[in-house]
Amino acid sequence: MIFPIFFTFALLLSSSLASVQDFCVANYKAPEGPAGYACKKPAKVTVDDFVYSGLGIAGNTTNIIKAAVTPAFAAQFPGVNGLGISLARLDLDAGGVIPFHTHPGASEVLLVAQGTIIAGFVSSANTVYLKTLKKGDIMVFPQGLLHFQVNGDKTPSLAYVSFSSPSPGLQILDFALFQNDLPTELIAQTTFLDVAQIKKLKGVLGARNLKHEAHEFVVQEVHRVPKGNAENPAKNQHILKTALASTQFLCYVTMIFPILFTFFLLLSSSNAAVQDFCVADLTAPDGPAGYSCKSPANVKVDDFVFSGLGVAGNTTNIIKAAVTPAFAAQFPGVNGLGISLARLDLAVGGVIPFHTHPGGSEVLIVIEGTICAGFVSSANTVYLQTLEKGDIMVFPQGLLHFQVNGGEATALAFVSFSSPSPGLQILDYALFKNDLPTELIAQTTFLDVAQIKKLKAALGGTN
Ligand SMILES: *[C@@H]1O[C@H](CO)[C@@H](O)[C@H](O)[C@H]1NC(C)=O
């Protein structure tokens, strides 16, 4: 009685463990992929890859913004690559400013370790969320939204920020608008700023030491923000608004322009965060979320088109079934896009045996015939259904499932995955088609040794 339960439990466990990649320490010598650097060979990874001491040192705030950002992103701290997290240290001298910016790739949490910081962000609905933070306070800045930090106090402040990405990115607003080759007329059309204003800022930011000048511009305006009032956020907003209204920058625009301007900035920021595509470069190493990106100059329309699913798979085999994948490995255009497909052909009596896709959920649509499909949940519930032409069924990521042709005719289905590389672990292969010792399988599955040996023999397993 108890063994079938243990058996299912062990299988689920083995399937989910098999899908886990412990870490993917950044290999700086290989190209980046859609979610970070390629993985260093595990044999070359040392503990130092997981430790970073750079945030123990105060940044140099002897500069025009009286502030310093010290990052511990994947580029500095290889151990965070692929792990969805990173940190930075912010040092703000009295009057220091981190200018308006976005992190296109991550949300941020800030912890004030010393002093006070006036911090704020602007939502997509154009609401300003502004607060004077004291030592020990934390504040979150949602992904991609414009935000800033200011030390309005007379003593230095220190904060640590954590990001929901190992490479959150940083887009400084003024640089994005005025420090590139976007035509002035176009900026005017799309921001409603005066041409003279745009030219002035382009003049300031486009010449000499660009970074230096940008900071100078920003600090000239923002360092006038008086000390905030922790007890009265409304007053803080008033203070900041007054400060901003007094800036030369906004003197050039009328009442409506700040609103349109902010809207444009949000739009432009979010557009800037988008990578249109990352067509798989199958000759470069894999990264944590797929293949490296092919150089956009080499991308052709054929990378986005795949005709292989128009051809029926060969079902003349022991399972009377065939799976034809259009994963990133076959269909490079889906790399990094979170999607892929496959074609299932099942002859009469055909079976797609119990398997999992560790990296993706699946939706199946029946095009021809009848398919009996089912999956088993972590709570060990079985969800089983006979599907007719036009029916669709979803199979949650990583759960064991199967498809059987229960009808009298050939069946055809297409499946779509929530990943360009969903992976495929066939249960019997995982158990019986490798060199896992029979005794260990018996211990860990409660199957009889004779049964294991029989299946190993059938599938070509050893030991
Ligand atoms: C800080 O930066 C300033 C300006 O670049 C430089 O003169 C100074 O030597 C730096 N201080 C330290 C401790 O590195």
Kindly report the protein residue whose alpha carbon is nearest to atom 6 of ligand 1.
62
DSSP letters, 143-183, are TT--EEEE--SSS-EEEEEEESSSS---EEHHHHHHSS---
Kindly report the protein residue whose alpha carbon is nearest to atom 3 of ligand 1.
62
Alpha-carbon distances, residue 212 vs 63, 133, 409 (angstroms) = 9, 28, 73
Ligand 1 centroid from CA 57, angstroms: 14
Kindly report the protein residue whose alpha carbon is nearest to atom 4 of ligand 1.
62
Ligand 1: residues with CB < 6 A are 60, 62
Mean pLDDT lowest for which of 133-142, 161-170, 269-278, 419-428? 269-278
pLDDT mean across residues, the chain: 76
Select from 2.60.120.10, 1.10.10.10, 3.30.450.20, 3.30.465.10 the CATH code of 47-169: 2.60.120.10
Averaged pLDDT, 4-28: 61
Share of the chain above pLDDT 90, in %: 24
Strands ordered across the beta sheet of 157-163: 67-72, 86-92, 157-163, 108-114, 138-141
Same fold, 47-169 and 301-432: yes
Ligand 1 centroid from CA 60, angstroms: 6
Ligand 1 centroid from CA 319, angstroms: 71
Domain boundaries, the chain: 47-169, 174-272, 301-432
pLDDT over threshold 90, residue 287: no
Distance of CA 394 to the CA centre of its chain: 23
Alpha-carbon distances, residue 305 vs 290, 340, 397, 452, 454 (angstroms) = 18, 12, 26, 44, 44
Mean pLDDT lowest for which of 4-13, 40-49, 254-263? 254-263
Choice between 459 and 234, residue whose per-residue pLDDT is larger? 459
Neighbouring CB atoms inside 10 A of 454's CB total 12
Ligand 1 centroid from CA 294, angstroms: 41
* Beta pairing partners, 280: 293
Phi, psi of 272 (to 5 degrees): -65, -25
- Residue 401 known to bind ligand: yes
Fold designation for 301-432: Jelly Rolls (2.60.120)
Q: How far apart are CA 347 and CA 168, in angstroms?
A: 49
Give the SS3 label for residue 430: helix
* Mutation pick for ligand 1 pocket among 57, 60, 66 (CB with most ligand atoms within 8 Å): 60
Q: How far apart are CA 186 and CA 184, in angstroms?
A: 5
Averaged pLDDT, 25-50: 90
pLDDT over threshold 70, residue 410: yes
Closest atom of ligand 1 to 63 CA is 4
Most confident by average pLDDT, 27-36, 54-63, 399-408: 54-63
pLDDT at position 160 is 92
Tens digit of each residue's pLDDT (9 = 90 or more) over 172-188: 766 766 777 766 775 55
* Mutation pick for ligand 1 pocket among 57, 61, 62 (CB with most ligand atoms within 8 Å): 62
Contact indicator for 97, 63 with CB cutoff of 8 Å: no
334: tokens are: 């889906």
Averaged pLDDT, 19-32: 81
Ligand 1 centroid from CA 155, angstroms: 19
- Residue 368 known to bind ligand: no
Ligand 1 centroid from CA 62, angstroms: 6
pLDDT at position 184 is 75
Alpha-carbon distances, residue 296 vs 188, 299, 333 (angstroms) = 30, 5, 12
pLDDT over threshold 80, residue 311: yes
Burial 111-138 (b: 16+ CB within 10 A, else e): bbeebbbbbbbbeeeeeebbbbbeeebe
Distance of CA 301 to the CA centre of its chain: 25
Tens digit of each residue's pLDDT (9 = 90 or more) over 362-378: 889 988 999 999 888 76
Tens digit of each residue's pLDDT (9 = 90 or more) over 218-265: 322 323 233 333 344 444 444 334 333 333 333 233 334 444 444 444
Closest atom of ligand 1 to 60 CA is 1
- Residue 238 known to bind ligand: no
pLDDT at position 219 is 29
